[in-house]
């Protein structure tokens, strides 16, 4: 059985990938510094070790204690606004931390890595849907850290035979279909959980950031991809390493507007969402959705969730359950 190290496996997408790998007969070791991750999101079938990308001794301990075959790396900071205010934190954790991880892997003869990259590496879109050949000019430090990591992978692949796949996510959404785990960021900035919290009465309202975009209803369009479809793609990517290295988009290819998300959440919950109209948020393009042909062709990936209502339903089930989970 293959032993996979999931760095950042206590976070949102990491914990769903851990569960998916275990369900598919992989052995999983989770390493996490638990700054943003939750220990109770880690599947009990996985081994857990406390480690931090900036503490190389803790990284060495992971590879000493476990004979790792491949790494899936989620351990990055992801708040765009914070990355503008505190770039040091982002370049240090995301870039230096990843170099530490790669060098430790190299020292222990581990050559395979799957990485969470992002469509934020493209920057201001020039055409839609976005494919992998689109120019990459990220507009914030967060996006730049992810692009730098992609470039480091490419150099390490040439020099040290690193086998890598960087998955450029669009908008991760939803929760496990059995509602055992889900999205739980602190602070929460993402649209779907904020809409659901407004419906539950945990927030006064949801602010719609801009209603004058050049889209059919004036609100921003994004490509929401179910977290279990992301998890599946990570397993397929792991299984593809050795015959392909490179970067692959992960999105459904379908765009959904902010107003459509609110409508889906109202339909699913049967309750009205209190809404406020607010100014545009800096750096938000009007539309972002993926050309996902490469994921289909190279990974043989097919998203199981294609209807936004089904995605929001899983997030709602999780929101209802979470109060008892915490
Ligand atoms: N959004 C919004 N109100 C919020 C949070 C987000 O209108 O309170 C919008 C945001 O402008 C974007 C979309 O919802 O168009 C998705 O935002 P999110 O932060 O979830 O993901 P992002 O696309 O920024 O990665």
Q: In whole angstroms, give the CA distance from residue 177 to residue 172.
A: 14
Count of alpha carbons within 13 Å of 113, Cβ hemisphere only? 31
Q: Which residues contact 240 (CB under 8 A, 6 or more apart)?
A: 165, 298, 299
**In ligand 1, which atom is closest to the CA atom of 221?**
15
- Per-residue pLDDT at 37: 96
223: tokens are 């490509």
> How far is residue 6 from each of residues 100, 170, 234, 326, measured CA to CA in Å?
15, 20, 11, 23
Of all residues in the chain, the percent with pLDDT exceeding 70 is 98
Residues 275-302: tens digit of each pLDDT: 999 999 988 999 999 999 999 999 999 9
- Per-residue pLDDT at 325: 44
In short, whether 198's Cβ falls inside 6 Å of ligand 1 is no
Average pLDDT over the chain, rounded to an integer: 96
How many angstroms is it from 52 CA to the middle of ligand 1?
A: 29
In short, whether 209's Cβ falls inside 6 Å of ligand 1 is yes
Does residue 142 have an active-site annotation? yes
Using DSSP's 3-state secondary structure scheme, residue 287 falls into: strand
Residues 108-124: tens digit of each pLDDT: 999 999 999 999 999 99
- In the predicted structure, residue 193 carries a pLDDT above the cut 70: yes
- Per-residue pLDDT at 326: 40
Structure confidence at residue 1 as a pLDDT band (50, 70, 90): low
Instruction: Select from 17, 62, 65 the least CA-distant residue to 43.
Output: 17
Q: Indicate which residue of 26, 36, 142, 156 is catalytic.
A: 142
In short, whether 102's Cβ falls inside 6 Å of ligand 1 is no
- Per-residue pLDDT, averaged over 67-96, amounts to 97
**In ligand 1, which atom is closest to the CA atom of 280?**
11
């Amino acid at each position: 059985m293959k032993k996979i190290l999931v760095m950042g496996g206590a976070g949102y997408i990491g914990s769903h990938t851990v569960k998916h790998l275990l369900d598919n007969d992989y052995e999983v070791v989770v390493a996490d510094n638990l700054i943003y991750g939750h220990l109770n999101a880690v599947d009990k079938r996985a081994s857990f070790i406390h480690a931090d990308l900036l503490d190389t001794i803790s990284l060495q301990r992971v590879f000493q204690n476990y004979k790792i075959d491949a790494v899936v790396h989620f351990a990055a900071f992801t708040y765009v606004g914070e990355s503008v205010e505190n770039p040091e934190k982002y370049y240090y954790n995301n870039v230096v931390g990843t170099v530490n991880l790669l060098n430790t892997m190299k020292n222990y003869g581990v050559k395979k890595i799957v990485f969470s990259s992002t469509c934020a590496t493209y920057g201001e879109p020039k055409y839609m849907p976005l494919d992998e050949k689109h120019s990459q000019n990220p507009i914030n430090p967060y996006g730049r850290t992810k692009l730098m990591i992609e470039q480091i992978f490419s150099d390490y692949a040439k020099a040290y035979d690193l086998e890598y796949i960087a998955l450029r996510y669009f908008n991760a959404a939803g929760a496990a279909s059995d509602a055992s785990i889900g999205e739980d960021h602190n602070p929460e900035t993402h649209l779907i959980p904020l809409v659901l919290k407004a419906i539950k009465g945990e927030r006064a309202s949801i602010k719609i950031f801009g209603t004058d975009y050049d889209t059919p209803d004036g609100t921003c369009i994004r490509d929401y991809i179910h977290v279990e479809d992301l998890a599946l793609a990570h397993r397929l990517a792991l299984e593809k390493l050795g015959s392909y290295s490179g970067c692959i988009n992960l999105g459904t290819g379908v765009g959904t507007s902010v107003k459509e998300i609110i409508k889906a959440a109202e339909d699913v919950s049967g309750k009205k969402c209190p809404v406020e109209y607010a100014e545009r948020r800096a750096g938000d393009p009007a539309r972002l959705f993926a050309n996902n042909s490469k994921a289909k062709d190279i990974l043989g990936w097919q998203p199981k969730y294609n209807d936004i209502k089904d995605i929001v339903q899983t997030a709602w089930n999780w929101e209802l359950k979470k109060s008892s989970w915490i």
